[in-house]
Structure 1
Amino acid sequence: MSIRSSSPQPDDTSIAAPVSALVHAALADRPLEEVAGLITLLEQSPQYARATVDALRAVGTDRSVEDVTRLVSLLTRPPRDADCADEAIRAAAESRPVEDVTRLMALLHQAPLEAHCGQEAARAAAARPVEELVELIGRLSEERDAHADRLTAEAQQQPHGVPAMPEEPEPEPESDAQAAAQVDLTPRILPRTPNHRPVQHSWLGVLAAAVLLLCGMLWFPLHRDGAPPQPYGLTLGASALCTLLAVLLTLRPTLPAFAVAAVVPSVLAAGQLYEGRFHSEPLSRALDLTLAPSWIAGVAAVCAALAALTGVLVGLAAQQPKAAAPPRPPAAARRIPD
């Protein structure tokens, strides 16, 4: 039996607290260029690894959302790695109010940043409580629709924003032919101008995301009850995957996202049906861990698959080219020569 020494041992917490306090105070009001330079210097030595993490998290929690986005842009410029600012992104997405997280994710997707930054924010936000996650999904949907409306308004106003040309004297016959050809060319080009919203049927993405989120909640293993790691991990992975797909459909309701979102709950529903008929022992243990009874979890998976499949069908239908009537020449092109 060994006897522990009674000599006082260093307390890591008491040592780390002044360092953390110093980092927070140093980064509170400094210009972002100096903050980026300080973090770069700290990264150069493994001795300051903990201080580097404290600095990134201090920026993510204490500075404004706009400052966080600008610092991420400074820290991820080539040749630096795209994950250099992950700690700041995670701190902001995990601890800030839902309104700030909504603004942060919108800025990370609009700014000229690596796609990794927006994905890291989505992964961190997905770990928040379910009530906050639903609120975040709703706010992001409203933000996306408002952005699409602005693009639509700009596209519709663009033809009217062309400055008027000064009047010219009566053109010669050769100029008449050129004007007629140019006017005839204009109706052929104008229909190609995008005057529709870039993301159509966004309500399908919100609906499918809501059903997938409900499916993920019902498949969550609330208690392990001594189950082996494999069934527990299978149920937990299914719940997490449904939740991530719900976030993906909220941010980007594209055709590939709908397709993946239709496959995953279909596999879950097929597994529940297979267990009901053939009584597989590992699958039975996994289904016994779900928050809801297995048949309710299976029904939720079927509903999620149908909602995502509807998005796939609507997306395919929207991609079909529509037959357009041949443009009629304008009156200016049908001038009768004197």
Structure 2
Amino acid sequence: MPVSGLKHAGILAGGKPFLLIIIIVMQGMITHAQCPDVAAVFPKDSIIICADTTYKLVLPAKPGISYTWNTAETANAIDIHQSGKYWVTVTDGACTPVTDTVFILFNSLILIPNVKDTLLCLNKPAPPMQAYGQNLVWYSSPTSTDGSHTAPIPSTADTGSTYFYVSQTILGCESPRAKVIAEVIDKPSFDLGENIIIPCGAPGVVLQTVAQKYTSYLWQDGSSNNEFLATEAGKYVLKAENICGRLIDTVETVLCNTRCLNFPNAFTPNGDGRNELFRPGAFCPITKYIFTVYDRFGRQVFHSTNPNEGWDGRISGKKADIGTYIYYCIYDDFMLKRQLMLRGSVTLIK
């Protein structure tokens, strides 16, 4: 208790000096400098806690100070399991009790980073994986504990998909992990095959290839499927394209009664530069080939095993007579997949 003193000196009767000391007790001057301050109980009005954790709210344990929480607990620390409003009343002896409030938020709303899957080309250099967020950490699996702040660079040594996982940390809380896919593809690859026969009585033949992911297809008529119904004899072209390249392939179809060789029924070896040779028109590969021409008396006037050669209308260097001649041709038909023998006649015209 604070006190104050007064001193007074003098001389008593008889000539003796004296010293008077007066002590005064100063009532009603107790200082409250050490009493709890409502502003100092909870330094912050709100506290954000990471989801899936348990938080302990702790106040100082001091002699003579008691706590009463809204949860009815009286210890200096309580466990917090859910978001909400919490308050405590602090009593310290002769001090006026003070009450303070704090909001606890379990942050379960941390969003995963923004990610975008990556499409890569076989055996081409790959850039680092990309994601967008704060304080990113990359993982090799959904449950691995070893993360890296450096974005991984996927391998392009083989086709297929590789999975990566990335999280972001906000206010000390780590988000769930987002899956990011790096997929490696090859340039288009297909083969329409050899020339195709449209079977007799059939509406057509289906030209097709196995569809590759992320690849666009375009036929000669502008259609964009990976297959096409060919109903007529002719040439069909398919173009395939993706980020790694493009490929174009062509196939011809013929009707069931179409042969690789077609012979004219007349020719005019007169030196005008048109129809000078008698030979077949070939629109597919010819392997085995024997071609012979005879006159009306059965005498051989021309013979060849080369489909590019033709009879020029001469016999032993002299111009042959105008008239009809007979020919035979034996060859392996590429379209019909069998050996054929053709017999016919041709007229030599001057």
Give TM-score, length-normalised by structure 1.
0.20
Structure with more strand by fraction? 2
Structure with more helix by fraction? 1
Give TM-score, length-normalised by structure 2.
0.20
**Greater relative contact order structure (CA < 8 Å, 6+ sep):** 1
Bigger-Rg structure (1/2) = 2
